[in-house]
């Protein structure tokens, strides 16, 4: 039976000095680097999607991301990001770097990273990439709201779908000024921001072309430390369109519906509240 070290050596061609254990397992290479080995067997296609996403969001001047050292259909080997502590200064720099990442752009709303699959994952839920229509409101309704409303309703954890239908119908007027497709991390909750040394690193992307306010709304939803500093740094580089705070609930519909599908009715109430808030904006 293969050990973590065996898999790392096969995928990277490097020599493993020792296995460190952990979950996911860590291994120390002969050159001193420590790597992380992730298994994606339970979510077919998740490893190619993550590897492609990490490469795509590793833009010059953007937030640092782990380096992909090897991957196959089941296993992913990346460099380890050592833990640190957040500060306001780090938060402001993260905001500036996020603006650079978003400004790198995408070919369209829903575009997958080069080499990434159309059917990817967010957490342990399927996420379909691929463009539909020409505008963000049309794509967001078709690919990021309606599929998860249906899935939650079919699973019996979401009874009231009318408010989401109303929000989708009114998306063109609720979405604010048109913007070009941004290059998104796509699953930017606080757990996917690692504070290490003088920088904040991004891990575990569900990368695609989308609206830049979606990444920022997800940071707000799950409580990132020093979020005000992040937003301040972001606006230094790429000011947000007028009225963006009122649109935060609209952009939070996607992650809240995903969590409703994954974890049940406990999140359904939050999703309903966000939809009603979006309609009142």
Cis peptide before 24 (omega within 30 of 0): yes
Beta bridge partners of 208: 184
Query: Which of 218, 221, 185 has the alpha carbon at shortest distance from 203?
Result: 185
Token code pair at residue 136:
């963000």
Q: Which long-range contacts (CB under 8 A, 24 or more apart) does 4-8 make?
A: 4/37, 7/37, 7/75, 7/77, 8/35, 8/37, 8/70, 8/77
Q: Give the position of tokens 């690193």.
A: 201
Other C-beta atoms within 10 Å of 141: how many?
25
Q: Is 205 exposed, middle or buried (0-12, 13-18, 19+ CB in 10 A)?
A: buried
Q: How is residue 72 annotated by DSSP? A: -
Catalytic residue at 187? yes
Token code pair at residue 99:
């603006």
Number of helices (H), then strands (E), in the chain: 11, 11
**Marked catalytic residue, from 187, 204, 215, 220:** 187
Cα 208 to Cα 92, 178, 201: the distances in Å are: 24, 18, 18
Query: Which of 57, 207, 12, 30 has the alpha carbon at shortest distance from 117?
Result: 207
What are the φ and ψ backbone dihedral angles of 196, each rounded to 5 degrees? -140, 120
Q: Which residues are catalytic?
A: 187
């Amino acid at each position: 039976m293969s050990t973590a070290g065996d898999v790392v050596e096969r995928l990277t061609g490097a020599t493993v000095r020792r296995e460190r254990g952990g979950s996911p397992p860590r291994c120390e290479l002969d050159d001193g680097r420590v790597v992380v080995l992730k298994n994606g067997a339970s979510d077919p296609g998740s490893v190619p999607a993550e590897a492609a996403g990490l490469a795509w969001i590793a833009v010059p001047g953007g937030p640092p991301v782990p380096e992909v050292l090897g991957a196959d259909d089941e296993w992913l080997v990346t460099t380890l990001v050592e833990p640190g502590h957040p500060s306001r200064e780090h938060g402001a720099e993260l905001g500036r770097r996020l603006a650079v990442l978003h400004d790198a752009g995408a070919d369209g709303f829903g575009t997958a990273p080069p080499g990434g699959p159309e059917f990817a994952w967010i957490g342990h839920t399927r996420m379909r990439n691929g463009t539909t229509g020409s505008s963000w409101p049309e794509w967001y309704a078709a690919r990021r709201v309606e599929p998860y409303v249906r899935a939650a309703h079919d699973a019996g954890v979401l009874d009231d779908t009318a408010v989401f239908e109303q929000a989708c119908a009114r998306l063109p007027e609720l979405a604010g000024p048109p913007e070009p497709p941004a290059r998104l991390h796509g699953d930017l909750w606080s757990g996917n921001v690692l504070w290490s040394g003088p920088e904040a690193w991004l891990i575990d992307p569900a990368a695609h072309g989308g609206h830049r306010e979606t990444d920022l709304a997800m940071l707000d939803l799950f409580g990132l430390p020093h979020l005000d500093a992040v937003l301040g740094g972001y606006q230094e580089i790429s000011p947000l369109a007028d009225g963006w705070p009122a649109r935060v609930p609209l952009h939070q519909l996607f992650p809240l519906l995903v969590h409703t599908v994954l974890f049940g009715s406990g999140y359904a109430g939050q999703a309903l509240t966000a939809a009603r808030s979006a309609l009142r904006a």
